[in-house]
Structure 1
Amino acid sequence: MNKSMDIALMGMLLGIMVISSWISIPMTVPFTLQTFAIFLTILLLGTWRGFFVVLSYIALGLFGLPVFSGFKSGFAAIAGPTGGYILGFLLTAIVTGKLLEFLPDKKIYRYLSMFIGLVVCYAFGTFWFVNMYTKAAISFSRALSLCVIPFIIPDVLKILLADYIAKLLKKVG
């Protein structure tokens, strides 16, 4: 892929990431399509270009553009209860991308790579929620029941969708 196409794809995936965060159902941690966008980005761009897109997304939000769920932005959005999940997207990009590079390019390994990346995001975000936001006023198991368990099935469906769309786009491109 040439550099112009690469930059255009990165920009489009950044746009998809922003739009995916705006499609939101309010809950303790809002239900969004962000993880779908992150997995699609990593599948199409690889580890480091995908990481850069995720980092750009977070930077846009920190600089005041309303790119986070609920059209939030700024440091307060990162310092809030979902900030750990937003920052966890960076770890998800690295872990998922590196596993995709290391493991054979078979469907089961792509799913496994994305699921492990998702678990990393869950762990980081839930740790943040318990220790940074609630100041340990809530148990880790209670935080899991609020912030992780309701999202497992939808997130697995997002993994399947991201893989399906990435495969279609790779055939076309």
Structure 2
Amino acid sequence: MQTKVFHYTLTAFCAAIIAVLAQITIPLPLVPITGQTLAIGLVVTILGLKFGTYAVILYVCLGAFGLPVFQLFTGGFGILVGPTGGYILGFIPTALVIGLYLKWFGTTFKHAVIANLIGMFITLLFGAAWLKIAANLTWGAAFLSGIAPFIIVGIIKGVIAAWLDVIVRERLIHARMLEKLT
């Protein structure tokens, strides 16, 4: 029982970390650069498939129900049907794929980088597809405004998430707080 409480508390804490990092924003015309994707990669890489995905689902649900957890302290269902909604909804399959990849190949720095890069592209594809619909763009315009500006920063975020994972995971394992989590 005590272990379940710890895991669910850690999951909620990680959903809060995603909400905090979502407030780090660099504005762009249609879709800003935020700390959300870094947080998604970091949380799933540390918590693993099950609890990492739970944390992401909790974050998305909190925002959908109106809590101001999305970028610029926004929330509500309207955000999910707006231009950035595809990215936010794409966080869930991103978490699943990152978690599955790491479950299959192990959580080493190399695999954490690969998993986070795959996750970045999943988020970008969901986001651009929805941006095409929500903003009534052509596929070319959706690519230019919804994917291209985020590739380099996404690679950087993927490496940072993997690097931080190595540090945090090592400390949590040393403190015997993570051994049964993933």
TM-score (structure 1 length as normaliser): 0.91
Residue number among 61, 66, 74 corresponding to 1:59 in the alignment = 61
Count of residues in Structure 1 that have an aligned counterpart in Structure 2: 170
| 2:100 equivalent among 95, 98, 101 | 98
Residue ranges of structure 1 left out of the alignment (5+ in a row): none
Partner of 2:33: 31
SS in 1 for 2:26: coil
Shifted more, 3-12 versus 160-169: the winner is 3-12
CA contact (8 A) 2:120 2:158 kept: no
Aligned to 1:134: 135
AA of the residue aligned to 2:131: F
CA offsets, 1:38-75, max 9 Å, x none? 01111111112111111111111111111111211111
Q: Deviations over 1:77-130 (max 9, x none)?
A: 001000000000001001111111112443322211211111111111111110
Q: Which amino acid aligns with 1:54?
A: V
CA distance in 1 between partners of 2:44 and 2:56 (Å): 9
Measure the CA separation in 2 of the matches of 1:24 and 1:17.
Answer: 13
Q: Who is 1:43 aligned against? A: 45
The equivalent residue for 2:4 is 3
Task: Say if 1:63 and 1:104 are closer, same or farther in 2 by CA, change over 3 A.
Answer: closer
Whichever residue aligns with residue 17 of structure 1, its letter is I
Q: Aligned Cα RMSD in Å?
A: 1.5
Partner secondary structure for residue 18 of structure 2: helix
106 and 169 in structure 1: CA distance in 2 versus 1, 3 angstrom threshold: closer
Partners of 1:106 and 1:21 in 2: CA distance: 26
The change in CA–CA distance for 1:105 and 1:22 in structure 2 (over 3 A counts) is: closer
TM-score of the aligned structures, taking structure 2 as reference length = 0.87
Contact 2:41 2:161 (C-alpha < 8 Å) held by counterparts: yes
Amino acid at match of 2:36: Q
* Aligned AA (1:170): R
Q: Match of 2:22, SS?
A: helix
Q: Percent identity?
A: 34
TM-superposed deviation, 1:172: 1.3
Gapped regions of structure 2 (runs ≥ 5): 173-182
1:119 maps to 121
